[in-house]
Amino acid sequence: MGIVEAILLSVITAATPLVLAAVGELVAERSGVLNLGVEGMMIMGAVSAFAATQLSGSPYVGLLAGIACGALFSLLFAFLTLTLVANQVATGLALTLLGLGVSGMVGESFLGMQGIKLQPIVIPLLSQVPFLGPLLFRQDTIFYLSIAVVAGVHWFLFRSRAGLKLRAVGDSHASAHALGVDVIKTRYLAVLFGGACAGLAGAQLSLVYTPQWVENMSAGRGWIALALVVFASWRPWRVVAGGYLFGAVSISQLHAQAFGIGIPSQFLSSLPYVATIVVLILISHNRRMTLINTPASLGKPFVPDR
């Protein structure tokens, strides 16, 4: 039981940044914006969170810095694609490359420093429950935030008037505009939320998952988060299931090596990305399932009548 508990704790830690980044991108895509810059926003969130923590001595200051940096990067993307109507795919790729480059430059002076880990919140009594206590009631702040964000996004999208407007913008921005919805403002807010979630996911990497700064430490997680949105067919709670599935695949490589399983480490390291490709291939075979929740205006530019 001790080994199983340790593995599950590792899976939760590995899955949390995937869930956060994916649910933020889900909101952006529901509004009709395809932001491929998730990886760049995550890595910038990671380096800014680590730097702010080192300078202030508080991981909570670092957490806020990660959120703010991810949000600022997303505003750059929003300005280029929504105001200047630049190509969303090209801009998202450029944002990722920019984030990887800037984070390497900013983080150079923090290489090798011992990080300050965000300590778990121990909930009295509940944390003492065998097995489930450490898994659910002795976790860090970001884990609880991830669950709250998913629940809040689900309520917002399917239970609130504002969420209905956002989905309308994603399904038909011309019709939503004709009905008086401010399409550009709605998309700005959705992209800003997605950037904040990606920044928080990056902060989790440098404050919880590996409390130190390592260049390119996001290691492709932003791309996995993008695939998770499709895997979940744009439904928030399915993102959680997919995130924990991919988290389990990521952790399996570490435990397989620890147990001495004779599989090349390079192959084990590639498992999360192989799983991503396999899932996307399987989804593409079910055309109806792919289209049923896909925002019809996804990736399409909108220029309001002047």
Pairwise CA distance, residues 199 & 74, whole Å: 10
Pairwise CA distance, residues 45 & 55, whole Å: 15
Pairwise CA distance, residues 167 & 156, whole Å: 10
Angle value at C-alpha 226, between 223 and 230, nearest 5 degrees? 140
Model confidence pLDDT, tens digit, residues 13-49: 999 999 999 999 999 999 999 999 999 999 999 999 9
* The model's pTM: 0.92
Which tokens hold the place of 284?
């593409």
134: pLDDT confidence band, cut at 50, 70 and 90? confident
Cα distances (Å, whole numbers) of residue 41 to 95, 102, 113, 120: 8, 11, 22, 25
217: pLDDT confidence band, cut at 50, 70 and 90? very high
Does 1 score more than 60 pLDDT? no
As a whole number, the mean pLDDT across the chain is 89
Model confidence pLDDT, tens digit, residues 227-272: 899 888 899 999 999 899 888 887 877 766 666 666 676 676 777 7
Rg (CA), the chain: 19
Element containing residue 223 per DSSP (H, E) = helix 221-231
Are 102 and 219 in contact by the 8 Å Cβ rule? The answer is: no
Pairwise CA distance, residues 29 & 94, whole Å: 18
- Output the furthest CA–CA distance in the chain (Å, rounded): 66
Which tokens hold the place of 35?
């932001």
Report domain extents, the chain: 2-115+130-292
Model confidence pLDDT, tens digit, residues 60-69: 999 999 999 9
pLDDT for the residue 261: 65
Model confidence pLDDT, tens digit, residues 144-195: 999 999 999 999 999 999 999 999 999 999 999 999 999 999 999 999 999 9
Pairwise CA distance, residues 35 & 32, whole Å: 10
pLDDT for the residue 113: 87
Adjacent-strand bridge partners of 139: 121
Q: Which CATH class is domain 2-115+130-292?
A: mainly alpha
Pairwise CA distance, residues 254 & 268, whole Å: 8
pLDDT for the residue 259: 64
Which tokens hold the place of 23?
């649910």
Q: Which amino acid is at 68?
A: A
Pairwise CA distance, residues 105 & 216, whole Å: 11
Closest CA to 234 of 35, 27, 33, 17: 27
